[in-house]
Amino acid sequence: MANISLEQVRRKIDEAPSEQRLSIIQNFICQIDSPEQRSLAESMFFLGQELSTLQQRENIVVLIHGIMTHAVWQERLMAKLKSEADIVAFPIGYDFLDILRFWCPFFTRKGPIDKVLHQLRVLRSEHPNADISAVAHSFGTYIMSQILLDNTDIKIHRIQLCGSIISRNFQWDQLKGRIKGIVVNDAGSRDYWPVFASLFSWGYGASGTFGFKNVLVKDRFYDCGHSDFFEDEHMRKYWIPLLIDGQVVPSDWSQSRPSPNVVISFLNWLPLKILIAIGIFVWALSKFNIADKFIQIFKIFAGN
């Protein structure tokens, strides 16, 4: 090996077909006489391979919208990511979901979840080595949480939530290994829709208003409503740095915001769903004389 110059090694590698270059490098390393130098060369070779692999990884972002919207923000964010960071974004939709199907806790949510799940699997098959991050709004945040919870094959790099209706008790630690980077939740202090979603239906939560307060999620608060996050300046200042390299730009409002609205806080606490269920049960008892029928059945069995 002492008679072979580094220039000769480079020339031989350059002249060889690409599929033979790896074996040529390995052969040259094996010819190094000194064990210390050979070990150093091997370490440098493998380090170079790892760095090359990291540099070649694609950075892809999926954009998942909420209900009753055409989500024009998706195209604007897609264009910004491409022009400012050369990141390819893919808007994912699930048709127009009306308010009735949104509120219903049975059957109607599975269709949108399955459509987004299918698109994520198609994207992964087309880009097997890519880092796939997600930006999700409103019902899209719920979809993302359920997909990650129920499908161990789905891996996400970073997640940007806004207008989130995911339950504040969601167990993020159950997703260990499925989220590689950070989860950021942008919450609006004037966003009341997550509270109403939690108040009138099951499975939702007011994390988009009050935050998660979870060690695995970074909450950021803003003086805004449900869809105010889609301003160009907000996306450019807060979202693009996160999607490029995981930088979490702090929000000044997080530290200076006032206490939550008293009415909204009360509604968030109010166990309205339980009260409605009790009311329906009491109404059914009186409407169909169910209590009398139970008493008659009890007397029959007691008499026997």
CATH number at residue 210: 3.40.50.1820
> Quick one: 81 and 97 in the same domain?
yes
In a domain, 83, yes or no: yes
> Quick one: 127 and 251 in the same domain?
yes
Lowest mean pLDDT among 66-70, 155-159, 254-258, 269-273: 269-273
In a domain, 1, yes or no: no
In a domain, 266, yes or no: no
Task: State pLDDT tens for residues 18-47.
Answer: 556 677 777 777 777 777 776 777 676 666
Would you call 42 exposed, middle or buried from its count of C-beta atoms within 10 A (0-12, 13-18, 19+)? Answer: middle
CA 7 to the chain's CA centroid: 49
pLDDT at 3: 55
What's the structural domain count of the chain?
3
> Quick one: 49 and 61 in the same domain?
no
Task: State pLDDT tens for residues 59-103.
Answer: 999 999 999 888 899 999 999 999 998 999 999 988 778 888 888
> Quick one: 175 and 286 in the same domain?
no
| 141 has pLDDT over 90 | yes
Q: What rounded mean pLDDT belongs to the chain?
A: 84
In a domain, 281, yes or no: yes
> Quick one: 31 and 145 in the same domain?
no
Q: Please give the average per-residue pLDDT across 206-225, as a whole number.
A: 96
| DSSP, res 203 | S
> Quick one: 128 and 141 in the same domain?
yes
Cα–Cα distance, 232 to 245 (Å, whole number): 19
In a domain, 173, yes or no: yes
Residue 107: both structure tokens together: 């059957």
> Quick one: 18 and 150 in the same domain?
no
Hey, is 259 helix, strand or coil? coil
pLDDT at 96: 79
Q: Please give the average per-residue pLDDT across 192-212, as a whole number.
A: 92
In a domain, 267, yes or no: no
Q: Minimal CA–CA distance to 170: which of 197, 142, 138?
A: 142
> Quick one: 95 and 193 in the same domain?
yes
Percent of the residues in the chain that have a pLDDT greater than 70, as a whole number: 77
Lowest mean pLDDT among 49-53, 146-150, 175-179: 49-53
Cα–Cα distance, 117 to 111 (Å, whole number): 10
| 233 has pLDDT over 70 | yes
β-sheet with 159-162: strand ranges across = 88-92, 59-64, 131-137, 159-162, 183-188, 217-222
Contacts of 111 (CB under 8 A, 6+ apart): 94
> Quick one: 38 and 71 in the same domain?
no
pTM over 0.75: no
pLDDT at 290: 61
> Quick one: 82 and 183 in the same domain?
yes
pLDDT at 1: 47
**Which amino acid makes up residue 303?**
G
**What range does the domain containing 286 cover?**
272-303
**Which DSSP string corresponds to 263-280?**
HHHHHHH--HHHHHHHHH
> Quick one: 111 and 229 in the same domain?
yes
- Of residues 53 and 248, more confidently modeled: 248
> Quick one: 82 and 15 in the same domain?
no
Residue 24: both structure tokens together: 């040529």
Hey, is 236 helix, strand or coil? helix
